[in-house]
Amino acid sequence: MIYLDHNATTRPAPDVVAAMRRALEEWWPNPSSIHRPGQTARQQIDLARKHLAELIGTRPRFLTFTGSGTESLDLAIRGHLLARGLIGAANANTHGGPPTIITTPIEHIGVRELARALEREEGVHVLMADLDEQGVVQATSVERLLNEHPQTALVSVQWANNETGAIQPVEIIGKICRERNVTFHCDATQWVGKMPVNVEGVVEMAEGDQAGRHQSIEAVRGNLACDLLTFSPHKFHGPKGVGVLYARAGVRTAPLIHGEQELGRRGGTENVPGIIGAGVAAQLALQWLRDEENPRRVGVLRDRFERAVLEAVPEARVNSAIGPRLYNTSSIGFPKLEAEALLMLLSERGVCCSAGAACSSGSLEASAVIQAMKIAPDYAHGTLRFSLSRETTVTEVDEGARIVAECVARLRRSWTGA
């Protein structure tokens, strides 16, 4: 199997699996129990929280564990609006009109659909920031919307796009929000564990950065002035079933699941093995990131893969190829092909990737991200996402590119009869 779908999930590292197995065998008591075995399990959770806090440059008490990255998104956005009394039946029509949030059309579905639900169910006013042709959010658009809607309650922008890898100018947007005392939430699911993060760092904007672009990926140091940040350890070789929410000191979120756990911020008995595994994954990621050559090495492999595919299929096109892009992600459009058919053919040949399009109501519809980027339909419907990890090898990249080219050629022959 050639696995090139690491933005979907990553293989749990062997040390993670070993730690989780030990947790199941030794630290299985309920961590809320006051007896010694329960408190031993609690100590292991606290240790994992410490390691995850170190990964993003904060203190353990600012982290809340949830059941997934998607739940963390909901707790960050809905929970924050609830905590401020801006939504909920008890607070209807008491704040001079519905609250406003600003987000983008390329967010993860957990943010996009949540925004629609809040608009539909709570009357929240949702505004979308502008994108450029590479799918990069324009910081100047966010600033304009904030100037036009000074009572905005929250801005939510992802750090790196899950489909194209386009890096968003979150450092600049965070500073703009901080200057206006507007809560800024960042979905860092595709960033944490892959690039350095310092959520409590001070961001200085250089002259000329106002357009919302970084000059290079080397310029991105991971400093981010944000109030809320969400991530998921299964994206960096940790387990599924664990999400993490960072909330800056003084930034409140109301629980969506009530209970005494997580200081009352999220109820339910903790997933002890998953949390312990997440802590180990954080340690491994931080160690890997200390060598700046590691991300560059994966970037070289990604570029090698793209070159090989484009040489074999010259009519193909890389989406978001210009501008800052996460080093492991490649979104390639193959014109006049259906992504789902190509995806299945690749799967039969042992190559795992994702389609940039999904079947909907019996017809092929380009993903919301690809549509928002206004990519030509011929390319949009034939877009696939390939994503690497720190485990990806040269052999996998070379063999994967060769198989992609062969499958494209085979699919075209089957449709044209040539």
Q: Tens-of-pLDDT digits for all 418 residues of the chain? A: 999 999 999 999 999 999 999 999 999 999 999 999 999 999 999 999 999 999 999 999 999 999 999 999 999 999 999 999 999 976 554 556 789 999 999 999 999 999 999 999 999 999 999 999 999 999 999 999 999 999 999 999 999 999 999 999 999 999 999 999 999 999 999 999 999 999 986 433 333 343 333 333 333 457 898 999 999 999 999 999 999 999 999 999 999 999 999 999 999 999 999 999 999 999 999 999 999 999 999 999 999 999 999 999 999 999 998 989 999 999 999 999 999 999 999 999 999 999 854 433 344 578 889 999 999 999 999 999 999 999 999 999 999 999 999 999 999 988 766 5
Cβ pair 77, 156 in contact under 8 A: yes
The enclosing domain of 109 has a CATH number of 3.40.640.10
Number of domains in the chain: 2
Show Cβ contacts of residue 397 under 8 Å, excluding neighbours closer than 6 positions.
301, 302, 304, 305, 308, 388
Residue 9 within any structural domain of the chain: no
Same domain, 94 and 171: yes
CA distances, 50 to each of 96, 242, 271, 277 (Å): 41, 15, 16, 13
- Among 224, 256, 289, identify where a domain stops: 289
Residue 386 within any structural domain of the chain: yes
pLDDT of residue 90: 60
Domain range for 361: 292-416
Query: Whose CA is closest to 215, among 270, 171, 271, 267?
Result: 171
- Could you give the residue numbers annotated as active site? 359
Show Cβ contacts of residue 252 under 8 Å, excluding neighbours closer than 6 positions.
80, 83, 84
Same domain, 314 and 367: yes
Residue 379 within any structural domain of the chain: yes
Residue 7 within any structural domain of the chain: no
Same domain, 276 and 308: no
For residue 16, what are its two tokens?
A: 């993670």
Residue 2 within any structural domain of the chain: no
Same domain, 121 and 153: yes
For residue 326, what are its two tokens?
A: 């996460």
For residue 10, what are its two tokens?
A: 């990553």
- Among 289, 309, 335, identify where a domain stops: 289
Query: Whose CA is closest to 64, among 208, 263, 340, 362?
Result: 263
pLDDT of residue 415: 73
Residue 397 within any structural domain of the chain: yes
Same domain, 27 and 140: yes
Q: Report the chain's C-alpha Rg in angstroms.
A: 22
Residue 189 within any structural domain of the chain: yes
CA distances, 222 to each of 56, 97, 120 (Å): 9, 36, 35
Same domain, 282 and 296: no
Same domain, 271 and 373: no
Helix (H/G/I), strand (E/B), else coil: 203 = coil
Same domain, 284 and 313: no
Distance, in Å, from the CA atom of 389 to the CA atom of 298, rounded to the nearest integer, reads 7
Maximum Cα interatomic distance, the chain, rounded to a whole number of Å: 73
Within 10 angstroms of residue 1's Cβ, the number of other Cβ atoms is 8
